[in-house]
Structure 1
Amino acid sequence: MRSNLQIASEHYAASGRGDIAGMMADVAPDARWTEMAGFPCAGTWIGPAQIVEHVFRVLGGEWDDYRMTLESLIDGGDCIVGIGSYSGTYKRTGRAMQARVTHVWRLAGGKIVGFEQFTDTLLVARAMQIDRAARDSSH
């Protein structure tokens, strides 16, 4: 049986390949996935279908080259912590961003049952913000 650390590591590897099915392979049907308030897909989503629809489709559709670069993975048994950086370019503004991020994974019975994201949402919001001057001149 794979360890919880291996399961989280495999999720990040699948993410790096753009393999959504691989990313969701070990997510429990009732997993609670929480993206921070202020983040583009903020909220708590339940189960793989909601997670894909409200998180990964949003990020893939609104950002170019959006990625999470993992720097370290900390094994806390049933709680795994991933530390790294987000990067990407917001399509509507053409602005790039890079923000530090921490993911807290909760696992039980070989399945991901919980996920919570912590990141600097201001850096993400700045990349998404349309300049007032540019917006005003278009009217």
Structure 2
Amino acid sequence: MGANLELIRATYEGSSEENGRNLLAALAPDASWTEAEGFPYAGTYVGPDAIIAGVFARLGSEWTGYRAQVHTFLEDGDRVAAFGVYSGTYKATGKSMRAAFAHLYEVRDGKIATMTQYVDSAMVRQALTPST
């Protein structure tokens, strides 16, 4: 395994607190983080503060037991892909979900420069939709 893959792996494996510290340490100051269209936090966030506030703080406050469980990592030079399954329960509706995802990272100078999310957003949206 290469250093880039190990950098990305450290942001997923361990406690939520460890993962958060590892992610903050791994992000470049101008990192670009793109959440997929159809995902509740869709859009591009630039810089660690915007990424944490726009994505991770919301995941922590709006979901119970939210996880991104990776089953496969692939490395191709400066690019690392992580494939896995999201799971969690949306607090506002009490509905749980499981959704397949892929994250594509670009690493530059030992830091995460970009992340692009691909996700089965329909499964996530079902959890956000109140029962009638």
Fold match by TM threshold 0.5: yes
Map 1:34-45; keep pairs closer than 5 Å.
34-45=34-45
**Cα deviations by residue, 1:44-81 (Å, 9 ceiling, x for unpaired):** 00011000000001111100000001101001110000
Instruction: Indicate the residue corresponding to 2:59 in structure 1.
Output: 59
Are 1:81 and 2:81 matched, yes or no?
Answer: yes
Of 15, 18, 27, the match for 1:17: 15
Offset of 1:41 from its aligned partner?
Answer: 1.0
More helix by share: 1
Q: Distance in 1 between matches of 2:21 and 2:79?
A: 22
Return structure 1 stretches of 4+ with deviation > 6 angstroms.
none
Question: Could you say what secondary structure the match of 2:40 adopts?
Answer: coil
Offset of 1:123 from its aligned partner?
Answer: 0.6
Letter in 2 for 1:18: S
Are 1:32 and 2:65 matched, yes or no?
Answer: no
Aligned-residue Cα RMSD (Å) equals 1.1
Offset of 1:21 from its aligned partner?
Answer: 2.2
Q: Identity of counterpart residues, as a percentage?
A: 39
Q: Distance in 1 between matches of 2:21 and 2:11?
A: 10
Instruction: Indicate the residue corresponding to 2:116 in structure 1.
Output: 116
Runs of at least 5 residues in structure 2 that lack an aligned partner in the other structure: none
Offset of 1:92 from its aligned partner?
Answer: 0.8
Matched pairs, number: 129
Q: Distance in 1 between matches of 2:8 and 2:21?
A: 14
Runs of at least 5 residues in structure 1 that lack an aligned partner in the other structure: 134-139
